Structure formats: C-alpha cells, structure tokens
Chain A
Amino acid sequence: MIIDTTEVQTINSFSTSEFLKEVYGLIWIVPILTLILGITIGVLVIVWLEREISAAIQQRIGPEYAGPLGILQAIADGTKLLFKEDLLPSRGDIRLFSVGPSIAVISILLSYLVIPFGYRLVLADLSIGVFLWIAISSIAPIGLLMSGYGSNNKYSFLGGLRAAAQSISYEIPLTLCVLSISLLSNSSSTVDIVEAQSKYGFWGWNLWRQPIGFIVFLISSLAECERLPFDLPEAEEELVAGYQTEYSGIKYGLFYLASYLNLLVSSLFVTVLYLGGWNLSIPYISIPELFGINKIAGIFGMTMGILITLIKAYLFLFISITTRWTLPRMRMDQLLNLGWKFLLPISLGNLLLTTSSQLVSL
C-alpha cells in the first residue's frame, strides 16, 4: 500500500512539474537572454574602456570618431569581423579549428550562471556555486589546445601548449584561495558567500580576513585571463599571435570575445568573493533607510545592487587594464616558477592559517 501511494505521489508530482515546465518554459528563457544581453553590453564597455584607458596612459587620443567619445567603436569592430573572410588552413584539422573557439566561449559564458548581481538576483543559486565556476573554467584551455593543434602551425601549437600549461599552473592557487573563502563562510554558494560578508559593512569584507588569499587570487586570475604580464600564449615577439595565428574573421572574434568575457567574470568573482558583492558596505548606512524606502518594495534596491556590483567589478577591470601597460611580460620559466614555487606554497599556507583560525573560533 505504502509503495503504491508513494508511487502515485511521485507520478502526480512528476506530471505537475512537467505541466509547470510547459507553462513556465518560455518564461525561463527571459532571464537567460537578459543576462546574455547584459554580458554583451558589459564586454562592449570593457573593450571601449580598455582602448580609452590605454590611450590615456600612452598619451594618445584613442577612439573618437565612432559615436560620441568613440563609444560605438567596439560594435564597429565586431561588425567588421563578421564581414571578414573566414580562412581555414589547408593542412589543418578543420573540425578542431572550428570547435576550439566555440568551446572557449561557451565554457566561459557558463560561469555567469552563478554570479549574483543583487539579493536573490542570480540565475541559479546552486549549492556548489563557486565550485561550478572552477570546474567549468578548466574546460576553456581544452578549446585553446584544440585550436592550437588544429591550426597545424608551429606558432599556434606552441601557443596552445603554453596556454594549457599556464592555466593549469594557476588553477591550483586559485582553487585553494576559493577553498579558504568557502571555509570561512561554510558554503560554496555565491549568495551565501556574499551574505557572510554583509555583517560589519566595509570591515566584514573577506579582503580583510584573507589579504594573502586576495593577492594570490588577483595574480592567478590575471594569469588565467592570459593578460599582461602573463600573456605568454600570445607573446607577439616570439609566437606571432600564439594559438590565434591562423584565425581570421568571426572565429578570431570569438577568441577576442572569450578573453574579455573571462576578464569580466574574473573581476565579478573578485567582487563576490572578496569585496562584499552587491552590498553598499558602508557601516551604519543602508540605502533603504537613506531614501526612506521599504526594503521589500524595491526594484530600486535591485538596481542599486546591480550598480554596486558593477562599480566594484569595473574598479578591478581598471586595475587590470593599467597593469597591462605598467608591467613587462614574464619569461616562461619565471611564470611557472611563480605559479608552482611561490603561489602554490603561499596559498596552501593561507589555507592552513584560515583553518587554524576557524578552529580557534569554533
């Protein structure tokens, strides 16, 4: 009897969930498309910012003709790439050549699933949150390796190998830093991590509890994004353009997109993990009280959350863009030494330190 009733219940719940799925099927797509649209605009803004800031550092003018202050320059670049001829190297492996950039873009885009932009404003509040990002971000190097191998070009091959070696070397310090964070908040969910930092305003940030972890995370995420001073896979003087050498047209555009998507997702994760996410973080002042608005009745609060997250994230983008024009490129052996002999022991030590302090407070 019992089995029968449970069976019936299961069938009932299953059919209702199927029914709900059909009804809400289309509504589910709306937040996903909104997020993708937002990410696209974010990437366009980064490209424009990068050009303007680089120009300012080098005392040039920068883009100025496409729209006011050259805002439309990034769109113009993208459209141009769509109209460019797509060359396939005659001796290469065409399938790997085409699948490589696609894998890079898809895997990086998937990490945006767990980023909270505001209170409960996250596409999926998964309990494994940050862990999903770490797992998915390991897939992108496979795409780079595939494209490097598929090009059948010596520069591309070396570039792909270097990209894979670099990202696996810096993956471990990054993972250990995130591990310390999830140890502090006893959860891997990104929403929980931000909530755990919200108690003491500005002073509750993980930045103050994890200063070593923060610096290691920053260096490793720069290396994961393959930006200067860690842009060895694309070092122009030695490897022409690394794994991108044979690419033209929209496939090159996909690599370009992937690198900026990666930069944006890294700075958003710095915000979430170390800088208190969507919270304003000024002690004793909360926005609803400031403007006399009830917290629950707030599309206003939601907008403020998104705005604060983006401001913090773009602050980090500014730092990484200025780093690009400040530091010289490293050598391959220096890069691997930094990863394995400096950052790995330090992040392990940081983990043990965090564990001990948690043990004391237990």
Chain B
Amino acid sequence: MFLLHEYDILWAFLIISSVIPILAFVISGVLAPVSEGPEKLSSYESGIEPMGDAWLQFRIRYYMFALVFVVFDVETVFLYPWAMSFDVLGVSVFIEALIFVLIPIVGSVYAWRKGALEWS
C-alpha cells in the first residue's frame, strides 16, 4: 500500500469522496426538521400494518446465479494479464488460454443443461 506511490492519488480521492456523504448527512442533520411518530417510522406496506419481518428466506435462484457469476468473474480476471501481454506471448499461450476458456464454457453448458440458469 505504501510502496506503490502510483496509487497515492487513489487513496486521496477515496478519502475526499468519503467526505461527500458524511458532509451531506451533517448538513441535512442540521437543516432538516425532525417530527417522528410511530406511524411515520413503520415500514411501508401499501398502507396497511406491516405483516411480519422482511428478513426471511428467499429464492435459492439468487445463490445459483451468484455461484455461476463467481466462476466466470474469476476466469475473466485471470485472462486480463494474458490480454495485456498478448503480443509478447504468442501462439502457444493462446492455445493455453483457449483450453482455459473452454473449461468454464463446458461448465456453463453443464449448468445450462441442469437448469441453473432458469429463473422459474
């Protein structure tokens, strides 16, 4: 972190942009009126009393898509260094990359056939 001076401006930018929401909260906290009430603070559910909690079980499909996403995202991350030095590495590494890409493709075909990419 402290060795890469190239990234100093990234940290500076991160700190300055973190100030923006804090500043917005402070200004709004000073200016905005406060008039709380139990009705006002209850969660919105089309005008009726909220029924039960929202922190409950949800569709497993979201997890399936997240899993497939992780596979492909990691694959793409590994391909970036190869793409940047493509002109140096040449044909043999191209074939290696092709095999590497083929493995997730086979995996995604399997996931597709098994119905992991179906919503309903």
A residues near B (Cβ < 8 Å) are 17, 28-29, 32-33, 36, 82-92, 98, 101-102, 105-106, 109-110, 113, 123-124, 126-127, 131-132, 149, 151-158, 161, 164-165, 168-169, 171-172, 175-176, 179-180, 182-183, 186-188, 240, 245-246, 249-250, 253-254, 332-333, 336-337, 340-341, 344, 348, 351-352, 355, 358-359, 362
Docked-complex contact B86 and A186, CB < 8 angstroms: yes
> Is B54 interfacial (CB 8 A cutoff)?
yes
Sorted nearest first, the 7 A-B pairs with minimum C-beta distance are A333-B119, A102-B21, A250-B28, A90-B41, A183-B83, A153-B43, A109-B17
Which of B8, B45, B46, B65 is most buried by chain A, counting CB atoms within 10 A of its CB? Answer: B65
Interface 1/0 per residue, B5-33 and A, CB below 8 Å: 11111101110111011101101110111
Docked-complex contact A91 and B43, CB < 8 angstroms: yes
Docked-complex contact A341 and B119, CB < 8 angstroms: no
CB neighbours (8 Å) of A180 from chain B are 83
Given A106-B17, A109-B17, answer yes or no on A82-B25 (Cβ-Cβ < 8 Å): no
Docked-complex contact B65 and A359, CB < 8 angstroms: no
CA distance A36 to B53 in the complex (A): 40
> Is B91 interfacial (CB 8 A cutoff)?
yes
Docked-complex contact B87 and A362, CB < 8 angstroms: yes
Interface SS of A by simple majority: helix
Question: In chain B, residues 95-112, which have Cβ atoms closer than 8 Å to a Cβ of chain A?
Answer: 97-98, 101, 105, 108, 112
A84, A183, A254: the one contacting B21 at CB < 8 Å is A254
Docked-complex contact A106 and B28, CB < 8 angstroms: no
A289 to chain B minimum Cβ distance, whole angstroms, is 32
A92, A127, A154, A179: the one contacting B45 at CB < 8 Å is A154
A349 to chain B minimum Cβ distance, whole angstroms, is 10
B79 to chain A minimum Cβ distance, whole angstroms, is 6
B99 to chain A minimum Cβ distance, whole angstroms, is 12
B9, B54, B85: the one contacting A123 at CB < 8 Å is B9
Docked-complex contact A82 and B31, CB < 8 angstroms: yes
Docked-complex contact B41 and A152, CB < 8 angstroms: no
CB neighbours (8 Å) of A151 from chain B are 43, 54
Docked-complex contact B41 and A161, CB < 8 angstroms: no
Q: Can you name 4 extra interface pairs (CB under 8 A) apart from A84-B32, A131-B80?
A: A82-B27, A85-B34, A86-B29, A245-B44
Docked-complex contact B43 and A152, CB < 8 angstroms: yes
B50, B65, B80: the one contacting A188 at CB < 8 Å is B80
Docked-complex contact A86 and B32, CB < 8 angstroms: yes
CB neighbours (8 Å) of B25 from chain A are 98, 250
A80 to chain B minimum Cβ distance, whole angstroms, is 11
Docked-complex contact A28 and B12, CB < 8 angstroms: yes
CB neighbours (8 Å) of A90 from chain B are 38, 41-43
CA distance A337 to B13 in the complex (A): 38
A202 to chain B minimum Cβ distance, whole angstroms, is 25
Docked-complex contact A106 and B86, CB < 8 angstroms: no
Docked-complex contact B54 and A153, CB < 8 angstroms: yes
B3 to chain A minimum Cβ distance, whole angstroms, is 11
A86, A154, A169, A240: the one contacting B65 at CB < 8 Å is A169
Which of B43, B85, B120 is most buried by chain A, counting CB atoms within 10 A of its CB? Answer: B43
CB neighbours (8 Å) of B117 from chain A are 336-337, 340-341
- Residue pairs across A and B with Cβ atoms less than 8 A apart, 5 shown, are A124-B13, A157-B58, A165-B65, A168-B69, A362-B87
Docked-complex contact B80 and A179, CB < 8 angstroms: yes
CA distance A340 to B108 in the complex (A): 10
A110 to chain B minimum Cβ distance, whole angstroms, is 6
CB neighbours (8 Å) of B94 from chain A are 355, 359
CA distance A132 to B54 in the complex (A): 35
Docked-complex contact A87 and B83, CB < 8 angstroms: no
